[in-house]
């Protein structure tokens, strides 16, 4: 399992345990951190927007083209830190990943 440290919209930090085969969106949604994931992970709604902690940016990597287009129209877009959590698999290399759920649009 992969440990995720997630700060919710009330600035409360949660330590979550994620399935390495699953996505970050799935664990955030299932643990009730306010991630709606309206499209179910199809990279078309941007309701799973998160900000990646600075220390993890290299390991998480950049957004894909479709993901980047969606993120850029978000009011809370951060060119360095924004990602759609449905596009991030919780692989063991991300054990200890720290993220913040983006504010609701
Ligand atoms: S769940 Fe819709 S874009 Fe991630």
* CATH number of the domain enclosing 46: 3.10.20.30
Give residue 46's pLDDT.
96
Residue 85 CA: nearest ligand 1 atom is 4
Is the confidence at residue 105, as pLDDT, over 90?
Answer: no
Please tell me if the CB atom of residue 45 comes closer than 6 angstroms to any atom of ligand 1: yes
Distance CA 89, CA 81 (A): 16
Q: In the structure, how many helices (H) and strands (E) does the chain have?
A: 3, 5
Which atom of ligand 1 is the closest one to the Cα of 36? 1
What's the total number of domains in the chain? 1
Domain residues for the domain of 56 are 2-101
> What mean pLDDT, rounded, does the chain reach?
97
The CA 46 to ligand 1 mean position distance, Å, reads 5
Cβ contact 46:71 at 8 Å:
yes
64-71 long-range contacts, Cβ below 8 Å, gap at least 24?
67/43, 70/43, 70/44, 70/45, 70/46, 71/46
6 forms bridges with which residues in the sheet?
14, 99
Residue 63 backbone phi and psi in degrees, to 5: -70, 150
């Amino acid at each position: 399992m992969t440990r995720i440290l997630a700060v919710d919209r009330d600035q409360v930090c949660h330590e979550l345990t994620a399935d390495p085969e699953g996505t970050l969106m799935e664990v955030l949604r299932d643990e009730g951190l306010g991630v709606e994931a309206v499209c179910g992970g199809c990279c078309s709604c941007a309701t799973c927007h998160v900000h990646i902690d600075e220390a993890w940016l290299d390991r998480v990597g950049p957004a894909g083209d479709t993901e980047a287009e969606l993120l850029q129209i978000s009011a809370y877009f951060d060119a360095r830190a924004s990602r759609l959590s449905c596009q991030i698999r919780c692989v063991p290399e991300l054990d200890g990943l720290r993220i913040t759920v983006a504010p609701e649009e």
